[in-house]
């Protein structure tokens, strides 16, 4: 591991169970990185309390207070630079992202999505998979490219769909997979084992 650990900013809008999984992994020394900042567009979201419990700095904003998406993203970029952030992890950040954020952090910004991309991008991916009738779904970690869940794929793990699954029972198993997969992918990046070449991501084992 490098002498100065990689400094991460996690972006989240809701419950923050993935944030929690990352923070716990960091606490066990299993992340190879340090969570330096939580960025949220929902100042009242449960994830804020989780960050406070871990003593992690929070930048919370309300999109409505800014004239445009680009305007709040410019402020976020300033915060990221101030905190010397080397990797952005989107973990349930429910906002579209513009070039203001993507351009300076391309290859250094990843997202977790609760489906096997490119199937079921966008919102309610777990419900989309159930309603479509696929027998396998899962979780994907990918680099962010400004499209909707469309960037180069780093890691995927499958979850079988059972005949009696509801959105809740399936979500429980998909989330359990996410909570293992996301910290693992972050560790690979922190250890310098991930190479990005066009759409193709290679992970050195």
Residue with Cβ nearer ligand GAR (73 or 178): 178
Q: Which of 122, 150, 126, 154 is nearest to 138 (CA)?
A: 126
Does 114 sit near ligand GAR (CB under 6 A)?
yes
Residue with Cβ nearer ligand GAR (4 or 171): 171
Where would I find the H helices in the chain? 17-27, 46-53, 69-82, 99-105, 125-132, 167-190
Does 187 sit near ligand GAR (CB under 6 A)?
no
Does 183 sit near ligand GAR (CB under 6 A)?
no
Output the six-digit token pair for 116.
């096997």
Does 15 sit near ligand GAR (CB under 6 A)?
yes
Does 41 sit near ligand GAR (CB under 6 A)?
no
Which phi and psi angles does 88 have, rounded to 5°? -105, 130
How far is the C-alpha of 31 from the C-alpha of 188, rounded, in Å? 9
Q: Of 91, 100, 130, 189, which one interacts with ligand GAR (CB under 6 A)?
A: 91
Give contact residues for ligand GAR (rule: CB under 6 A). Answer: 12, 14-18, 91-92, 112-114, 125, 149, 175, 178
């Amino acid at each position: 591991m490098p002498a100065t650990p990689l400094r991460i900013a996690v972006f989240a809008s809701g419950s923050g169970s993935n944030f929690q999984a990352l923070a716990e992994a960091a606490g066990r020394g299993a992340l190879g990185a340090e969570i330096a900042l939580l960025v949220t567009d929902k100042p009242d979201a449960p994830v804020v309390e989780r960050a406070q419990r871990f003593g992690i700095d929070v930048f919370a904003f309300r999109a409505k207070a800014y004239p445009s998406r680009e305007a709040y993203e410019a402020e976020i970029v300033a915060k990221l630079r101030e905190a010397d952030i080397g990797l952005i992890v989107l973990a349930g950040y429910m906002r579209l992202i513009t070039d203001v954020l993507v351009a300076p952090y391309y290859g250094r910004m990843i997202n977790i999505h609760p489906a096997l991309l490119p199937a079921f991008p966008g919102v309610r991916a777990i419900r989309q998979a159930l309603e479509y009738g696929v027998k396998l779904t899962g979780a994907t970690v990918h680099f962010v490219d400004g499209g909707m869940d469309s960037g180069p794929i780093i890691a995927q793990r499958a979850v079988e769909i059972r005949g009696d699954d509801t959105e809740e029972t399936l979500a429980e198993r998909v989330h359990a997979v996410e909570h293992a997969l996301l910290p693992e992918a972050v560790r690979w990046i922190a250890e310098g084992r991930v190479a990005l070449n066009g759409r193709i991501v290679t992970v050195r084992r």
